[in-house]
Amino acid sequence: MLADDTRLRILMLLQREGELCVCELTHALDLSQPKISRHLAQLRESGVVQTRRAGQWMYYRIDAALPKWASRVLSTTLEGNRAASPFAEDYDVLKNMPNRPGADCCA
């Protein structure tokens, strides 16, 4: 799952933020919703992420039931790439997202 650039960028944002809405990921990565959703579906099917529905919005987070070694791989990958491109830029774009979701996602 880490071999694809888009999935890796998604996972690094999830690792950093905890839980994100699809709209936050599309904004941060500047990719289409179908492309983000396709990668999220692959991550979900492989057991790497979990979902939570709130109304019409889907939220994603890294599965807490991942084996410890897999969680360490994600943590180490984030720490080693936190300031590297494109991960730092993705996070900056996300932080500066106008109308960032709260109770009413992407309103």
Here the tokens at position 62 are 């890294």
Q: Residue 94: its pLDDT value, please?
A: 96
Tens of pLDDT along the chain (107 residues)?
889 999 999 999 999 999 999 999 999 999 999 999 999 999 999 999 999 998 888 899 999 999 999 999 999 999 999 999 999 999 999 999 988 876 455 54
Q: Residue 102: its pLDDT value, please?
A: 62
Angle (CA) 56-57-58 rounded to 5° is 125
Q: Residue 105: its pLDDT value, please?
A: 53
Q: Where are the domains of the chain?
A: 5-76
Q: Looking at domain 5-76, does it have CATH number 1.10.150.20?
A: no
